[in-house]
Amino acid sequence: MASTYGKFFRVTTWGESHGPALGAVLDGCPAGIEVDEALIQHDLDRRRVGQSKVTSPRNERDNVQILSGVFEGRTTGAPISLITYNADADSTKYDSIRDLYRPGHADYTYTAKWGHRDHRGGGRSSARETWGRVATSSIARALLKQAGIDVYAFTKQIGTIVAERFERDAIEQNLVRCCDPEAAERMVAAIDQIKIEKDSLGGIVEVRAEGVPPGLGEPIADKLDAMIGQAMLSIPATKGVEIGEGFKSAPMRGSQHNDDLYVDESGRVRTRTNHAGGMVGGISNGETIVARVAIKPTSSVSRIQETVDIYGNPREILVEGRHDPCVVPRAVPVVEAMMLLVLADLYLINRMSRVAWEAPNA
State which of positions 113-172 bind its own copies (CB under 8 A). 113-118, 123-125, 129, 143, 146, 157, 159-160
Give the three-state DSSP class for 179.
Answer: coil
CB of 43 to its own copies, least distance (A): 19
> Please, is 312 exposed, middle or buried when counting C-beta atoms within 10 Å of its C-beta (0-12, 13-18, 19+)?
exposed
> What residues numbered 1-40 form the site for its own copies, per CB under 8 A?
1-5, 7-8, 10, 12-16, 19-23, 25, 27-28, 30-33
Minimal CA–CA distance to 195: which of 49, 54, 47? 54
| Rounded CA separation 72/74 (Å) | 6
CB of 103 to its own copies, least distance (A): 4
Part of the chain binding its own copies (CB under 8 A), chosen from 38-46, 54-62, 88-96, 352-360: 352-360
Part of the chain binding its own copies (CB under 8 A), chosen from 35-43, 51-59, 104-112, 180-188: 104-112
DSSP 247: G
Among 46, 61, 223, 322, binds its own copies (CB under 8 A): 223
Part of the chain binding its own copies (CB under 8 A), chosen from 45-53, 163-171, 177-185, 262-270: 262-270
- Which residue, 38 or 314, has its beta carbon nearer to its own copies? 314
Handedness of CA 109, 113, 117, 119 (dihedral sign): negative
| Rounded CA separation 60/88 (Å) | 6
Count of residues interacting with its own copies (CB under 8 A):
164
Give the three-state DSSP class for 23.
Answer: strand
Q: Please enumerate in sequence order all residues whose Cβ is within 8 A of that of 170, keeping only pairs 6 or more positions apart, or say none.
A: 178, 179, 180, 181, 184
57-86 footprint of its own copies as x/- string (CB under 8 A):
--------x-xxx-xx-x-xxxxxx-x---
DSSP 357: P
> What residues numbered 194-213 form the site for its own copies, per CB under 8 A?
194, 199-204
| Rounded CA separation 161/190 (Å) | 9
270-309 footprint of its own copies as x/- string (CB under 8 A):
-xx---xx-xxxxxxxx-------xxxxxxxx-x-xxxx-
